[in-house]
Structure 1
Amino acid sequence: MARWGSVDFRNFKRVCKKIEKLTKTDLDKFCRDASGELAAQLIDKVIRRTPIDTGFLQDRWNGVAYARSLPVYKEGSTYIIEVVNPTEYASYVEFGHRTKSGNGWVKGQHFLTISEMELQGQVDKIIEKKLLILLKGVFDA
């Protein structure tokens, strides 16, 4: 009779246990935390771009800690956070407005729009970094 050799399944069993631990990870919490992190990154970028005026436009962003505390909504498989500046004239500074006399147009600053576009190019890297931390926690433990 032929002998096929011996196989050590201990490492395979260890990996199976770690994969089982990964499947028990709260991925909804991970996605909500990642959404909060992205909102915080956006707020950080937009604060630096917001023009300093005589009002409260820049101050009303409320900072990065505020962004992390914003509620995350889930619609289907999409996670949503609303990042809003509550200053009533924020949209006019962002998108532009008529002059007081009504004869001209003041161009928008697009501080939020530009920050969103910049962040969009970094989203994959930010989520990948958070995912690697999650995986290290599972497989290095």
Structure 2
Amino acid sequence: MGFEFGQVAELRDKVKEFRIASGRVHDKIARRVALLAIRKVKLMTPVDTGDLRNNWQFQVVKKGDVYVIVIFNQVEYASFVESGHRIVVAGRTVGWVEGRFMLKLTMGELESIAPRMWEREIEREMRRIFGQ
């Protein structure tokens, strides 16, 4: 069984196209996962004035071949609501407020969802390019 040079050249071109497309897919899925995370964390965020809920943001950073999703909130008390804090009266600790863990719980949930989203999109691109 042999191959024609034209078939090898065609395969080379398709692999090159897939490599370019996979970069776009990674970026698209990273942004989609980040938006889903923002949506879920906002639903879990307690509301008093709405500042905490409305200040969730994300950034997608590419480091080599790895896409890192950074989710953050710049409201100064966000970490206290997330992780909990002590109650201090007259310089003495009198209690503890449990954290809500809205970001931690959201990230745990998305760690199981994200690989499936990525896999589906990569398979779709492979079918489009390689014709299967």
Task: Report the TM-score range of the alignment, normalised by the length of the smaller protein.
Answer: 0.7 to 0.9
Equivalent residue for 2:79, pick from 70, 80, 91: 91
**1:57 alignment partner, SS class:** helix
Counterpart of 2:128? 137
Counterpart of 1:125? 116
Shift of 1:100: 4.2
Counterpart of 2:31? 36
Tell me, in whole angstroms, the C-alpha distance in 1 between the residues paired with 2:76 and 2:46.
15
TM-score, normalised on structure 2? 0.77
Please state if 1:50 is matched with 2:45: yes
Please state if 1:72 is matched with 2:67: no
Contact 1:36–1:72 (CA under 8 A) maintained in structure 2? no
Shift of 1:104: 0.6
Residues 56-102 of structure 1: CA deviation (Å, up to 9, x unaligned): 0101125xxxx4xx34131x443212110111111100000112423
Question: What amino acid is the match of 2:10?
Answer: K
Contact 2:84–2:97 (CA under 8 A) maintained in structure 1? yes
Counterpart of 2:101? 110
Counterpart of 2:14? 21
Q: Rg: which structure is higher?
A: 1
Shift of 1:107: 0.2
Higher strand share: 2
- Long gaps (5+) in structure 2: none
- How much is the aligned-residue C-alpha RMSD, in angstroms? 2.8
TM-score, normalised on structure 1? 0.73
Equivalent residue for 2:70, pick from 82, 104, 121: 82
- Long gaps (5+) in structure 1: 1-6
